[in-house]
Amino acid sequence: RKAWLEGLSPKENREVPPLDYGLVRAMKAAFPDLHISINGGIEGLEQALEFLAQGLDGVMVGRAAYHAPWDVLGRADSEVFGATSPFDDPVDVVQAMVPYIEAHLAEGGRVQSITRHMLGLFAGRPGARAWRRILSEGAHREGADAGLVLTALDAIGPRRAA
């Protein structure tokens, strides 16, 4: 899929004009009663927390959360909201997804519709490449089911805290 926006690729379009975080902070200072969130270029939870500490009301972390979800979102419940996270590590997330995948399949869905969004769950950890390969190669096969994520989980090795 290719999209060109006035001669710019999607990547180039995300970089032009350059992000102006200072302007966003200035707008919040000028209009403190408005709910102002920042979006674009946020690379992780630490950067999101910095923006919240500076008084912004919200931070959108789309690409970072998609490509390395555990790194960005694993501590968000506790660090942003002061709530207990329902998961101790990404292995717990995978195990919790099994009934969800089974329900999705029972409704006629495909396992690939879910697993493609789980590819980055173990980003930067041992076994991550095997995790992605097993999901990518197996999800489109006839008869692929929720057991695929458990098979891929075996590639991660023994349960370990992330």
Question: Across the 162 residues of the chain, what is the mean pLDDT of every consecutive 10-residue run?
Answer: 64 75 95 95 93 96 90 91 92 96 97 96 94 97 96 80 44
Q: What is the DSSP string of 105-116?
A: HHTT--THHHHT
Half-sphere exposure of 58 (CA within 13 A, CB side): 7
pLDDT at 161: 44
Are the C-beta atoms of 71 and 46 separated by less than 8 Å?
A: no
DSSP 2: -
Tell me which residue of 128, 114, 130 sits closest to 162, measured CA to CA. Answer: 128
Are the C-beta atoms of 157 and 126 separated by less than 8 Å?
A: yes
* pTM for the full predicted model: 0.77
pLDDT at 159: 54
| Angle at which helices 90-106 and 147-154 cross, to 10° | 160
Sketch out the chain's domains with CATH numbers: 10-81 (no CATH), 90-154 (1.20.120.1460)
